[in-house]
Amino acid sequence: MKGKLGMIMVAAAIVIGAMATYGRDRENSGEVQKELAESILRFHVLANSDSQEDQNLKLKVKEQVIAYLEPYLQEEQLSLEESKRIVENHKEEVIALAENVIKENGYQYEVTAELTRDFFPVKSYGDVTLPAGEYEAFRIQIGEAQGKNWWCILYPPLCFVDATYGYVPEDSKEMLKNIMDEECYKVITEGGCAKGEVEVRFKLWDLLSGLF
């Protein structure tokens, strides 16, 4: 009986330690998110629905908008605030461009575009992982905007690189590195924001399952 009680006490101590580690991971992730939120501008295009046709249309819209914005946002030495002003100043042109793409493809959806701040879940763009939290974003909504979104990072200008193959080019990552401290940069490029928390949860589950 004493042996079993001792094992339970040891396991409980391990669980408490793991929970403390999990708490620190969450706190660190929150600090990274806050720094990121003040340093980047996200870009989202929301489809009318999740139908294949609407999803394809969303991608056509984003391609044209990205091509239109690229010359303005690729200028050297742009700041975050300057990038936001550029996007805001060209908002009406972006809406007109998106609506034209939609009409050319045989649809009549309305389009809205705005700079907004909202909560976003953990998301990965290539091998860069952004922790969950509130971010500012330039958001385009097509029709009912009930479908999945396409997203990237407008500032620094990572939207103009191809992350299809699961990684962001090193010279583009350097842009992120230049606006963050080293530890925060490591967290978002090494998957710590999401992976660390998940691993701790599994450890806790394994320990509790062993007890009961």
Mean pLDDT of the chain: 80
d(CA 207, CA 130): 29
Statement to judge: residues 14 and 112 lie in one domain: no
Statement to judge: residues 75 and 112 lie in one domain: yes
Statement to judge: residues 20 and 44 lie in one domain: no
Statement to judge: residues 203 and 102 lie in one domain: no
Statement to judge: residues 28 and 57 lie in one domain: no
* Confidence tier at 10 by pLDDT (50, 70, 90): very low
pTM of the model: 0.74
Taking only the tens place, the pLDDT of each residue in 181-208 is 787 788 888 755 444 443 444 344 444 4
188 located within any domain: no
20 located within any domain: yes
Domain count of the fold of the chain: 2
> Two tokens at 60?
């056509």
Taking only the tens place, the pLDDT of each residue in 118-144 is 999 988 888 888 889 999 999 999 999
Statement to judge: residues 175 and 77 lie in one domain: yes
d(CA 206, CA 212): 10
197 located within any domain: yes
Edge-first strand listing for the sheet containing 149-155: 111-120, 133-142, 41-46, 149-155
Domain encompassing residue 100: 40-179
Statement to judge: residues 75 and 123 lie in one domain: yes
pLDDT value of residue 22: 39
d(CA 103, CA 200): 49
